[in-house]
């Protein structure tokens, strides 16, 4: 069972930050921590901006033996985040001080977007968004962290289904934390424009996507165990419902960000359509097993009619759809042949057909932020 692959959320870029050049430290301990912050962030900058070339062997040695690029980036993010959380906490204690506001503005926190409708200017590279608030930095770093967890989950999918599902659930937890704890206060920050990644709505969508992908991986395990078509139909429809929830947010007239990538929207709607098709396929299989072949034929006919209207634009995704459609069409021909020669059952009208029921069996793994609790003192 193939899943549609959408790696774009991890394709963020950023500009260099030097914390010790902006925030005046009152003591040597604070200065060292600011330098450590800059150093840990530089490792992330160089990786995502691809500004420093190192061999795979050296990257593996630096990371302590990690072979996956996603794992290496996750390690860098996990080393930076506790230091950043500590800075956000201490700056927040005196955040209204005019000097602190100016210093944070002087940082010039800039990130690109991977989910906006026009992420790149031709010949000029990515467009960067600047918001003078440390929560913007924390939000974008956490968004990248969730995206890297999701990428690693996709990488291990072929070798460890349990680990893959867990990583997707962890990513869902990161995005849930972002949507409910980190990003809402940014709504009050004045900014001419902000990337989709800095809005709670898009993090809610990403959380639902990761949950849907976690359940899709769990279904693979259920298929390997030979579970019945009835259960698999419910599980696939549960995945489709999660993607539908994400779709509703993306198309809401009150959504916070209007500038959303068409490819992102297409991924969500196409994933919903694909799992709906699989749900109908297994529902028909269950009906056939209970000798309701006429209803099973009607279900497959309806499924093929629906999916033909919702083919994705991306060629790799179209290939996944084509494979699934061919399989369903072959099953339909088999059932029609059997009904013609053996059962002679009437095919119900579309509005007489049963609808699949959705079943959701996954939940997010709550993200618990770690803060390196060291005092920071500034010359205010």
CA distance 319 to 282: 20
Cβ contacts of residue 144 below 8 Å, gap of 6+? 10, 12, 44, 48, 73, 77
Both tokens of residue 107?
Answer: 């940082």
| Chain centre distance of CA 180 | 16
Cβ contacts of residue 373 below 8 Å, gap of 6+? 86
Which pLDDT value is given to residue 198?
A: 95
CA distance 246 to 205: 5
Label each residue of the chain as H, E or C.
CCCCCCCHHHCCCECCCCHHHHCCECCHHHHHHHHHHHHHHHHHHHHHCCCCCCCHHHHHHHCCCCCCHHHHHHHHHHHHHHHHHHHHHHHHHCCCCHHHHHHHHHHCCEEECCCCCCCEECCCEECEEECCCHHHHHHHHHHHHHHHHHHHHHHHHHCCHHHHHHHHHHHHHHHHHHHHHHCHHHHHCCCCCCCHHHCHHHHHHHHHHHHHHHHHHHHHHHHHCCCCHHHHHHHHHHHHHHHHHHHHHHCCCCCCCCCCCHHHHHHHHHHHHHHHHHHHHHHHHHHHHCCCHHHHHHHHHHHHHHHHCCCCCCHHHHHHHHHHHHHHHHHHHHHHHHHHHHHCCCCCCHHHCCCCCCCCCCCCCCCCCCCCCCCCCECC
pTM for the full predicted model:
0.95
The pLDDT tens digits of the residues spanning 24-82 come to 999 999 999 999 999 999 999 999 997 666 656 555 656 566 678 899 999 999 999 99
Kindly list the averaged pLDDT for each block of 10 residues, start to end, along the chain of length 380.
Answer: 93 97 97 98 94 59 70 97 97 92 96 83 76 96 98 96 97 98 87 87 97 97 83 97 97 81 96 98 95 97 96 95 98 97 95 95 97 92
The pLDDT tens digits of the residues spanning 205-258 come to 999 999 999 999 999 988 888 777 789 999 999 999 999 999 999 998 777 777
Report the Cα–Cα distance between both ends of the chain, in Å, rounded.
59
Which pLDDT value is given to residue 96?
A: 86
Which pLDDT value is given to residue 122?
A: 47
Which pLDDT value is given to residue 301?
A: 98
Which pLDDT value is given to residue 57?
A: 53
Which pLDDT value is given to residue 59?
A: 52
Which pLDDT value is given to residue 263?
A: 95
Both tokens of residue 344?
Answer: 């002679």
Which pLDDT value is given to residue 255?
A: 73
């Amino acid at each position: 069972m193939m899943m549609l692959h959408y790696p774009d959320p991890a394709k963020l870029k950023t500009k260099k930050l030097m914390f010790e050049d902006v925030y005046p430290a009152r003591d040597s301990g604070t200065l060292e921590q600011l330098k450590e912050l800059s150093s840990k962030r530089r490792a992330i900058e160089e990786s995502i901006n691809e500004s420093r070339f190192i061999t795979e062997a050296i990257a593996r040695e630096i990371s302590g033996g990690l072979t996956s690029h996603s794992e290496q980036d996750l390690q860098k993010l996990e080393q930076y985040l506790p230091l950043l959380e500590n800075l956000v906490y201490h700056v927040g204690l005196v955040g209204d001080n005019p000097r602190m506001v100016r210093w944070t503005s002087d940082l010039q926190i800039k990130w690109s977007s991977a989910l906006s409708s026009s992420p790149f200017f031709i010949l000029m590279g990515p467009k960067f968004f600047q918001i003078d608030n440390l929560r913007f930095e924390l939000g974008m770093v956490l968004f990248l962290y969730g995206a890297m967890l999701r990428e690693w989950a996709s990488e291990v999918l072929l070798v460890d289904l349990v680990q893959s599902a867990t990583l997707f659930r962890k990513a869902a937890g990161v995005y849930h934390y972002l949507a409910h704890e980190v990003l809402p206060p940014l709504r009050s920050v004045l900014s001419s424009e902000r990337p989709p990644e800095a809005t709670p709505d898009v993090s809610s969508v990403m959380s639902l996507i990761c949950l849907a992908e976690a359940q899709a991986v769990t279904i693979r395990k259920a298929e390997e165990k030979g579970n019945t078509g009835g259960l698999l139909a419910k599980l696939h429809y549960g995945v489709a419902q999660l993607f539908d929830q994400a779709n509703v947010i993306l198309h809401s007239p009150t959504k916070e960000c209007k500038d959303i990538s068409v490819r992102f929207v297409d991924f969500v709607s196409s994933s919903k359509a694909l799992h709906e098709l699989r749900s109908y396929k297994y529902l028909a299989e269950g009906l056939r097993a209970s000798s309701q072949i006429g209803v099973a034929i009607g279900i497959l006919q309806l499924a093929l009619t629906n999916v033909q209207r919702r083919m994705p634009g991306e060629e790799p995704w179209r290939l996944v759809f084509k494979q699934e459609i061919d399989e369903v069409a072959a099953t339909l021909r088999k059932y029609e042949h059997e009904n013609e020669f053996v059962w002679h059952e009437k095919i119900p009208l579309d509005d007489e057909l049963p609808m699949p029921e959705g079943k959701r069996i996954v939940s997010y793994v709550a993200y618990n932020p770690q803060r390196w609790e060291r005092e920071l003192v500034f010359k205010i």
